[in-house]
């Protein structure tokens, strides 16, 4: 599963199975704590009280994790303890996220898989990306003015508009 697929699954997972879980189940409380934590982290804006709530939710999640799984916290658990400070200084992580870059990376991977030649591989990928952007520009009618179409030529237009 891709990162966005996992995020979507985790967002709706409690809705799908929540009614089948007993209300006092501690593992379910851990899952809901993580769910609440993720919802808090991916908010569009934060107030001072939101940051305090986030800090408390992180502590609650970590305590539940150690209690239920009898394991020490991992490095990822340590990193999330710094989120309230980072959010306070830099703003919401949603604005600093890499989800869109991951989506673009997926396109690059499909181009790389489709390219059989490994000579000038990076140049081939760059050209395919340029064709992709030109095609999207033409498709959105930003480049459909006649002078630009004349400069592109009939062959280029027919190639791009397949």
Rounded to 10 deg, the angle between the 26-41 and 3-17 helix axes is 130
d(CA 160, CA 86): 44
User: What's the confidence (pLDDT) of residue 152?
Assistant: 58
Residue pLDDT, tens place only, 125-158: 888 888 888 877 777 665 555 555 555 555 555 5
**Spatial separation of the C-alpha atoms in residues 145 and 138, rounded to whole Å:** 9
Question: What residue has token string 């030529």?
Answer: 153
Say what the pLDDT of residue 112 is.
84
pLDDT score of 159 = 53
Q: What pLDDT shows up at residue 162?
A: 44
Q: What angle do CA 37, 40, 44 make, to 5 degrees?
A: 155
User: In the prediction, which pLDDT does 35 show?
Assistant: 92
Name the residue ranges covered by the structural domains of the chain: 3-95, 98-157
The 10s digit of each residue's pLDDT in 77-97 is: 999 999 999 999 988 888 887
């Amino acid at each position: 599963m891709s990162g966005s697929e996992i995020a979507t699954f985790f967002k709706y997972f409690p809705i799908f199975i929540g009614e089948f879980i007993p209300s006092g189940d501690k593992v379910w409380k851990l899952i809901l704590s993580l769910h609440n934590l993720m919802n808090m982290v991916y908010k569009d804006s934060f107030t001072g009280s939101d940051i305090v709530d986030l800090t408390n939710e992180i502590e609650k999640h970590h305590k539940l994790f150690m209690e239920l799984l009898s394991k020490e916290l991992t490095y990822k658990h340590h990193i999330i303890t710094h989120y309230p400070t980072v959010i306070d200084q830099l703003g919401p992580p949603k604005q600093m996220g890499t989800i869109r870059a991951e989506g673009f990376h997926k396109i690059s991977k499909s181009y790389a898989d489709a390219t059989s030649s490994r000579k000038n591989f990076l140049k081939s990928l760059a050209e395919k990306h340029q064709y992709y952007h030109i095609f999207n520009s033409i498709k959105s009618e930003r480049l459909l003015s006649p002078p630009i179409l004349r400069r592109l030529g009939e062959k280029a237009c027919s190639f791009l508009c397949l």
